[in-house]
Structures are given as structure tokens and as C-alpha cells.
Amino acid sequence: MEALDALKEKASDTALAVEMGGQTSFSKEEENAVIRKVDLRLMPWLLVLYFFSQLDRGNLANAVIMNTEDQKSTMLFQLGASGDDYNWAVTVFFFGYVGFEIPSNLLMSKFTPRLWLSRICVTWGLCAALMAATFNPASLMACRFFLGLSEAGLAPGLVLLLRYWYKQYEISSRFATWYAASGIATGFGGLIAYGVANMNGVGGLAGWRWLFILEGVPTILAGILNMWLLPDYPQTCKWLSDREKEILISRLPPTAPSMHQKKIQHSEIIEAFSDYKVWINMLTGTCQVTMLYASAYFTPSVIRSMGFVSTQAQLLSVALGVLTSFWTVVINFSSDYFQEKGWHLIGSAVPGIICYALLATIQTSLTPYQRYGLLFLGTTVSSGVPIVLTWRAVLIGGTTKTAVVTAALGAAANIGGAIGGQIYRANDAPLYLTGHKILCALLCAEVVFGFAHWYVSRDDEKRVRAERAEQDARQKALNESTKPLTTDA
């Protein structure tokens, strides 16, 4: 209670009055200026946090192929691990991650975003750096489990944070700006690994150990900085004026979560899990993210098996990551602009279906670079993740329900991480035909479930658009009524 009272004291009386039911007039220019200010101050930092999460989560894929030309310097050799051990190291991350997603989001709504996200960053950074000290397969898997447990709640927590600041159809595109960091992390993770490979033997440590250290420590520092750089809510933001706070709060829909709703509403938890539309959305996310994690964790290995050496494979993954980020931003900005999600999701999956269908059928007749070129068709698939993870969340109300649904979608999607780690098997190399067929089938299933969710959500989306149109009409009427009267000279 003392923490909540402190937050209330920091918030301006006018801004609080607006949130409690008042409304203020503002011009479109004022609104756009405030949103630009929030975007420039908030979004770059969220991108940094998510970049580090994807870098630390995915660097195992780079570590496993580092310095393979010197067998005794490889991670698998030094840990006495097999290809199956690597698959389980990928998978075990998600046991902790999925299990703690919902509790983490509920705790963030009970505490504050700044405090809880800082805790997440510092603890996962420690676990990521400690992977450099692993000495056998069991210790690697233990670190990966606690890495997942520590990082749980970051993605759904960031989505929940956005709902405190933005309208429903402004969230997917902003999610995409920092989700695009996952593509950048994949690309530049390969570039960093290429450079760190040259540190093999420095200080008596193998290159893969240096990779975990050099990518884990910055995350710890980012978590500490987050305490000063991330604002919790518009009402308590120090770099917003009272007028700007009024505008931000007044433009939010009635269903937006509130900073004052700290008590966990058990009825909303039951309501969330009894909604069949949530489950369809969850199945869509599971299919999509299973495919994406299989691709993310094994793309460097797949590229290497196409006939390239390990350093070439690291560098060739860069272009794929950058193009993935480009499509993620473009497709999600289009989704928000047209206020449409279903067909954008389906459209992003189709090129991926073509990619893996061709790799599973005609790969043997292609050159290494032709095989590599097909992977570019799959770069559109990641753009569907912000759509899936925000789709149902922007159609509901209530702080507890929003927190639960957002985390449940993240948890269901990341079950795919546990499954995805088992799709590309060592005995399927070098063509990985079985793995490619499974990814093609998963994308087909994503299209089916995505269409089903679009169909059952039509009334919800009409309601949200109608509520937004009504709110905009009220705001326009208020602006007109408060215009200063003018008289002829």
C-alpha cells in the first residue's frame, strides 16, 4: 500500500482526474506530438531489452558451431555432449520459461513494470554469463533451465506495458519495432560469433565460452540501467508534462489496464481460461513459434550443412536476420494501419510454406547458394508473432485478464520452443528433409488456426473498431465545443 500511495503522490492531480473518468480536449497535432515523444523515449529502450533477450536466448545456436575446424575447441567436445544433448539444452530452456510466464505477468501488474523488468534482465543476464562456466551436459541444461525461468515474462510484460500507453491498434506495430530486434539479434549474433571465434584460446578459454560472457554481462548492465530509463505509467512519467499526461490518458480506451488495479481478480483469471477464442489464438501461436524456434536454433547448422564452413554460415545468417526484421516492421505497421490481423498473419505464412516445401522436395537438385536462397522466402514468417501475441489481448479488457491472456499466449507460443528444439535431428543431416517437412506442416496448421481465430473474432473486432470510432467522435465533439469563440473584426 505504501508503494501505491507513493505512486499516487507522484502523479499529477489533473492526470489522475482524467483517468478516473474525466476527458480533456486536444488537437490532432498535440496528440501526434505526444505519441512521437513517447515513441522516441520508450520504444528504443524496449528494443534494446528485447535485443539482449534474443541474443542471450539464441546464442547457443552460434556457440555450437564455433571453431568446428578445431574439434577440441568446440562446445560439444569440451562438455562431452552429443547432438541429442544439444537438442535437450535447447528444449529445457522452455520448461522454466513457459511455467513462469503467467505468474511473472501477474507479479508485474502487482509491482511496477520498471522494477519487475529490471529483475528479469539482471537474473537472466547472470544465467547467460554463467553458461561459460558449464563443464558437462547436465550443467549446460541446468543453466538453460534457469535462463528460461529468469527470462519468463519479458515479452508478455512488454505487451502489457504497451497497453498502459497506447490504443489497441497501435500496439502490434510497436511490438514489431522491438520484436524486430530478434531478427537483428539473429543476424548480428552470427556476426558477433564470427568475431568472438577469433578469441578462441584467449585467457585459456574457448571461443564459445567468451561468447556467453560477452553477451551475458551487457544484459546485467541493461537491467540495472532500466531502473532509471523505463517509465512505469503515463501518470508517473517524469519527462511528460501534466498536459501531455492528460492527452495520453484521455485517448486510451475504457478497456485499457489501469495502474491502480493492483489486486489480482480471480474471476478474470477464470474468464480468461474459459474463453475458447483464447485457446484458438494459443494454438495459432504454438504452431508458428514452434516453426520459428526450430529455424532460429538450427539455421546456422542448416546453412553449414548446405556446404559452407562454420564462419561462412555465421555470416550468411546475418542477411536472413536483417530481412526478417524488415518484414516484421512493414507487415505489422500495415496491420495496424488497416486495423486487420487475420489476413496479414496468413499472408506472412504462405512464403514460408513455399520455402520449406521446396527444401523438402527439390533440395538435392540445387547448388548450395540456391538452397540458401530459398531460406529468404521464410523471412516473412516472424512478422506474424506480434500479430498473434497481441491479437486476442487487444480485444479484451481488465488488468488481470489482460495480464493473464498476454502471458498465456506467450506461454503457449513458447511451448513451441520446447518442441522446436527436437525437430532438426543430427541423424537427419545434412539435408534435414524431415525437419523441413515438419516446418511446412506447422505453417499450414498456423494458417488453419489463424483463419479460425479470424472467423470467431469478427464480432469482437467490429466492437473494438466501433468503440474506437465512438471515442474518436466524442473527442472530436469535445474539441469542437472547447474551441475559442472568434468575432469578426
Q: Which domains does the chain have, with CATH numbers?
A: 29-233+267-471 (1.20.1250.20)
Whether 438 has a pLDDT exceeding 60, the answer reads: yes
Specify the range with the lowest mean pLDDT, choosing from 76-90, 261-275, 365-379, 469-483.
469-483
Cα 196 to the chain's mean position, in Å?
26
Asked if the model's pLDDT at residue 487 lies above 50, the reply is: no
Position 309 scores a pLDDT of 82
CB 416 within 8 A of CB 438: no
pLDDT score of 422 more than 90? no
State the average pLDDT over residues 406-425: 84
Distance, CA of 315 to chain centre? 24
What is the average pLDDT across 150-170?
88
* Count of beta carbons in the 10 Å neighbourhood of residue 437: 16
Res. 485 pLDDT band, cuts 50 70 90 = very low
Confidence of residue 146 (pLDDT cuts 50, 70, 90): very high
Percent of the chain with pLDDT over 70: 91
Q: Which amino acid is located at 378 in the chain?
A: G
What single letter denotes the amino acid at residue 216?
G
Distances (CA, A) of 157 to 76, 368, 388: 34, 41, 15
Q: What's the pTM value of the predicted model, to 2 decimals?
A: 0.76
Give, in order, the Cα–Cα distances in Å from 116 to each of 111, 177, 369, 482: 7, 22, 45, 41
H-helix or E-strand containing 450? helix 433-456
Q: What is the structure's pLDDT at 260?
A: 66
Asked if pLDDT for residue 80 goes beyond 60, the answer is yes
Average pLDDT value for residue range 27-41: 91
Residue 210 scores a pLDDT above 60: yes
CA distance 149 to 155: 13
pLDDT given for residue 15 in this prediction:
45
Which pLDDT score, from 0 to 100, does residue 20 have?
Answer: 42
Please report the pLDDT score of residue 489 as a whole number. 40
